[in-house]
Chain A
Amino acid sequence: QVQLVQSGAEVKKPGASVKLSCKASGYTFTSYAIHWLRQAPGQRLEWMGWINGGNGHTKYSQKFQDRLTITRDTSASTAYMELRSLRPEDTAVYSCARQGVPSINWFDPWGQGTLVTVSS
């Protein structure tokens, strides 16, 4: 079955970077986009961006444009999300999700989520 497995929880200091992974299985990685999203405590879900698993094209939310990079390794069927210049308000659960069909911009399935804590 289609599955996305994310890397483990991270604790970072303000100003640092974090790079999370999302390993896909059960489908052809290069045929679908992978999205990254996050939910901070008590806040709404936020969409961060996506990467085309085939050609590597990316689309980012303007909110994160300056400090976000999404990449992928097709040989490992894995997508990565790097967020730089972390602030305490970046503390959140970060999730990856495969694109839906036919529109690429809904999500199915989702990864299990990764908690990132930013604290001095």
Chain B
Amino acid sequence: DIQMTQSPSSLSASVGDRVTITCRASQGISNYLAWFQQTPGKAPKSLIYDASSLQSGVPSKFSGSGSGTDFTLTISGLQPEDFATYYCQQYNSYPLTFGGGTKVEIK
């Protein structure tokens, strides 16, 4: 199975900040990586697919990059609604696997 390692596991940031979350795959996954956001009590929301493609309806403050084994999710201009947990997920091969999550908290 492909192991996905996210860092950091949590971070504190202020409204308006730019944050970057990284995700590393244990083997190359091309660009078959998705990012999604989860807030307590709500269904997860897809943000990015194919490593850098913005899902329809997702604001452009979210961006993704990377290929192979190293990926990043960047959120520009943090707003209160962006404080959540973010996950990466690989879909290069079965079983589909997930990172451990990065909790973005208000400083």
Report which A residues bind B (CB closer than 8 A): 44-47, 59, 61-63, 95, 97, 100, 103, 105-113
Q: How far is the CA of A109 from the CA of B99 in the complex (A)?
A: 19
Of the listed residues A100, A105, A110, the one surrounded by the most CB atoms of chain B closer than 10 A to its CB is: A105
Pick the contact of A44: B32, B46, B98 (CB < 8 A). Answer: B98
Q: How far is the CB of B50 from chain A (nearest CB, A)?
A: 7
Provide a sorted-by-A list of 25 A–B residue pairs whose CB atoms are within 8 angstroms: A44-B97, A44-B98, A44-B99, A45-B98, A47-B95, A47-B96, A61-B96, A63-B95, A95-B44, A97-B44, A100-B46, A100-B49, A103-B32, A103-B49, A105-B32, A105-B96, A106-B34, A106-B89, A107-B36, A108-B46, A108-B49, A108-B55, A109-B43, A110-B45, A111-B43
Q: How far is the CB of A82 from chain B (nearest CB, A)?
A: 19
Given A44-B100, A107-B34, A107-B36, the answer on whether A61 and B95 have CB atoms closer than 8 Å is: yes
Given A109-B43, A110-B44, the answer on whether A100 and B94 have CB atoms closer than 8 Å is: no
Q: Which residues of B contact A109 (CB under 8 A)?
A: 43, 45-46
Report which B residues bind A (CB closer than 8 A): 32, 34, 36, 42-46, 49-50, 55, 87, 89, 91, 94-101
Q: Which residues of A contact B99 (CB under 8 A)?
A: 44
Q: How far is the CB of A63 from chain B (nearest CB, A)?
A: 7
Q: How far is the CB of B78 from chain A (nearest CB, A)?
A: 23
Q: How far is the CA of A103 from the CA of B89 in the complex (A)?
A: 13
A105, B91: Cβ atoms under 8 Å?
Answer: yes
B91, A103: Cβ atoms under 8 Å?
Answer: yes
